[in-house]
Amino acid sequence: MRPTLIAGNWKMNGSRAGVDSLVSGILRQGPFGCQVLLVPSFVFLEQVERLIVGTAVALGAQDIDPRPEGAVTGGISVSMVREFGCGYALVGHSERRTLFAETDDQVAEKFKACIHAGMTPILCVGETRAEREADSTDEVIAGQLAAVLAKVGVSAFATAVIAYEPVWAIGTGLSATPVQAQAVHEAIRAMLAAEDQDIAAQTQLLYGGSVNRQNAEALLAQPDIDGALIGGASLKADEFGAICRMAEGAG
Ligand code: PGA
């Protein structure tokens, strides 16, 4: 059975004071009967690491640079975030792909760097509205996945997570319906199963895109949805805590 993972991607939000109250507000509602992951901005990693000590809450980075070290101004390596307790890193979030023009190949390099460092990459995939309307959702996702499979092979997915995040649903308030999301999750699992059935059966697949306390329960009840990657609603302790509690019965 795959455990349910609820991840909060705080994006470029927060302040020292805000992070203190958000984390303590979340912890007050726990412990939770699901995996909980917080993904703050790099500059708050140490603060969050300190606040979650002694709890089961995990810490992740929003991105990493795949290079090990050196002349990369502004870059942050896997070994750096490991030092601050990160067990996970998002790779290929659609905002990185669009705002920073990250290519499938760069995303695959990041994925590979995480795997080599013993960290769990959360590979984000998803189609734009135009791609969905053109009926090419599965094809787009297959391409995003193929770039990573070509770089690291299916065995790397034994210790990876995939987040399906339709670009049109991110930050829009317009979540995919449970039926739409389940269909894509099923397709992603089939893509993995074509390579390795056992790995496909164990890989956690998260849904992301306007998840909130109103729609989370129905999404998490879907057989191939093993958790959620949450942006906006993860910035409110009560809302995030409520979703984590719903996840306890899911899966
Ligand atoms: P959202 O963001 O929940 O605000 O739509 C999700 C994400 O980008 O991970």
Cross-strand pairs, 59: 38, 86
**Structure confidence at residue 1 (pLDDT):** 81
- Which of 165, 174, 214, 239 best tests ligand 1's pocket when mutated (most atoms within 8 Å of CB)? 165
- Confirm if 188 and 205 have CB atoms less than 8 A apart: yes
Q: Is pTM, for the whole model, over 0.85?
A: yes
Beta carbon of 231 within 6 Å of any ligand 1 atom: yes
Beta carbon of 227 within 6 Å of any ligand 1 atom: no
Show Cβ contacts of residue 163 under 8 Å, excluding neighbours closer than 6 positions.
7, 90, 122, 123, 124, 125, 205, 206, 207, 208, 229
**Structure confidence at residue 251 (pLDDT):** 60
pLDDT along the chain (251 residues), means of 10: 96 98 97 97 98 98 98 98 98 97 98 98 98 97 98 97 97 95 98 98 98 97 98 98 92 60
Residue nearest atom 2 of ligand 1, based on CA coordinates:
231
Domains and CATH numbers, the chain: 5-247 (3.20.20.70)
Beta carbon of 251 within 6 Å of any ligand 1 atom: no
- The rounded distance, in Å, linking the Cα atoms of 62 and 40 is 7
